[in-house]
Structure 1
Amino acid sequence: MSASVLIIGGSSGIGLALAQHYAAEDASVTVISRQAKPAQLPYHWYQDSLNNEADSEHAVKQALAQQPDTIFICNGVLHDDSAMPEKTIRQLDCTVLMQRLQANVAVPALYLKLLFAYLCKRPAVKLLVLSAKVGSITDNALGGWYSYRVSKAALNMLVKNCSIEVSRLNKTATLVSLHPGTTDTPLSAPFQANLPAGQLQSTTQTAQRLAAVAAALQPLQTGALLNWDGTVLPF
């Protein structure tokens, strides 16, 4: 039986690269996205505007009909036209903070809620939520980036919490947060100039690395924050 993969937030960047990677491996690929399906893509595609929970529930229900064994949640925002990451708390705008919490925590939380029943019954299901190393409280030695760090730290707790609840009902399930590494996408574009040689990866390279992590996941790892190479990062 070929693999079945669901990618939430799969219309661009790492999410789209994951869809392309798994399609090339002859997996059944399902995408949930705010965007309409582009022409000629060979994926199951369900549009979710995120305007209300009922619409999201309908999109998830359709996607789960494909019986995915691996699920990625790729939603997230670091910066946009209205704001860049803060260098100091003096730059903190609480409106921006709430926007980052909405994009980086509330949206994944909604999908985890809608996926919960499936995660509790699907044997050996794997769910990987794209997070960030800067969301590690223990690893934080630089400060700054308040809204992004706070939202990603909260996301890591969200996944940890949900993993505990799922494991009570499905010992074979694995839920993890995953730092994808610095990838050449619009998210990282303003911060690429001073990167060490070799640190920046293409979306194709990142997708290959994350798929390898997914393939190697074991239930004992559930709840962990993992690096792009599968090593455990501190919370």
Structure 2
Amino acid sequence: MAEQVLIIGAGSGIGRGLVEYYLQQGHPVQAMSRSNCPEALTKTAVQWRQLDANAGDDEEGPELAINKLVAEAIIAQPTIIFICQGWLHDNKHGPEKTLRQLSPSQLQKSFAINVLQPALYLKALFGYLTKQPQVKVLVLSAKVGSITDNQLGGWYSYRLSKAAVNMLVKTSSIELQRYNKTAALVSLHPGTTDTPLSAPFQANVPSGQLQTGAATAQRLARVAANLSPEQSGKLLNWDGTVLPF
């Protein structure tokens, strides 16, 4: 029987690629997103759950909405879970080239999407993860979040938030292992993918390194298939090798 798959952040370029890949492979797929199910997927077997972006009038509203969707999703007992939130820039904010460009609004937005959202999903999933045998959770991060590997500087908000999500995964994996020795929870660098997030910077990508969403999904699914509890807590590259924190 094909494994149940849950893709959180399925409206992103990589998230949608993962949904399409697993559907093609015959897996039952659940998807979560703030956006509507794409028209091209409406006639597929995906179970698309839309998060109400305006849920609640207080601080607990978004968390309650996430808890509700997760409670519905885990009934199917997914054993492969991807968390695919990511934000780098918008019309008002680009990656900072100098500390002098750092703004509170950009830093707050980067942490809200790149750290807080994955944290709330992991929190909502945690009880389930402590009990589900051989469950695998892969949280998309970025190599630029590696403190050790940082040789260029810049991109302050994005680097800070991705370093933080790596710490979130590391710390959560330690607690998870106390309850479930068969679980694996990792952060994952997907490589440079042809998505709106990377679009303004693709001219600087060396020839052959820019991947389509479909190609990235296939590579990340391969990492998930080979993931072991011994790798839990690590930052993995798209090819499954370990990257430094």
* TM-score class, shorter: over 0.9
Report how far residue 37 of structure 1 moved: 2.4
Corresponding position of 1:96 = 106
Corresponding position of 2:8 = 8
Corresponding position of 2:194 = 184
Query: Secondary structure, in 3 states, of the residue corresponding to 2:240?
Result: coil
Equivalent in 167, 186, 210 of residue 157 of structure 1 = 167
**TM-score after normalising by structure 2:** 0.94
Report how far residue 12 of structure 1 moved: 3.2
Corresponding position of 1:57 = 67
Q: Map of 1:1-235 to 2, 5 A cutoff? A: 1-38=1-38, 39-50=42-53, 51=55, 52=61, 53-235=63-245
Corresponding position of 2:58 = none
Distance across 1 between alignment mates of 2:79 and 2:89: 32
Report how far residue 35 of structure 1 moved: 1.2
Query: Secondary structure, in 3 states, of the residue corresponding to 2:76?
Result: coil
Distance across 2 between alignment mates of 1:97 and 1:211: 31
Over aligned residue pairs, what C-alpha RMSD do you find?
A: 0.9
Letter in 2 for 1:29: V
Report how far residue 42 of structure 1 moved: 2.2
Distance across 2 between alignment mates of 1:134 and 1:49: 31
Aligned length: 235
Distance across 2 between alignment mates of 1:217 and 1:95: 37
- Deviation string 1:46-87 (CA, Å, 9 cap, x unpaired) is 111253211111111111111100000001101112200000
Report how far residue 36 of structure 1 moved: 2.2
Distance across 1 between alignment mates of 2:121 and 2:204: 35
Moved >6 Å (runs of 4+):
none
Query: Secondary structure, in 3 states, of the residue corresponding to 1:182?
Result: coil
Q: Is the 8 A contact 1:46 1:62 kept in 2?
A: no
Report how far residue 102 of structure 1 moved: 0.5
Q: Is the 8 A contact 1:29 1:43 kept in 2?
A: yes
- Deviation string 1:136-192 (CA, Å, 9 cap, x unpaired) is 000000000000000000000000000000000000000000000000000000001
- Please list every run of 5 or more consecutive structure 1 residues that lacks an aligned counterpart in the other structure: none
- Please list every run of 5 or more consecutive structure 2 residues that lacks an aligned counterpart in the other structure: 56-60
Q: Is the 8 A contact 2:99 2:156 kept in 1?
A: yes
Q: Is the 8 A contact 1:5 1:30 kept in 2?
A: yes
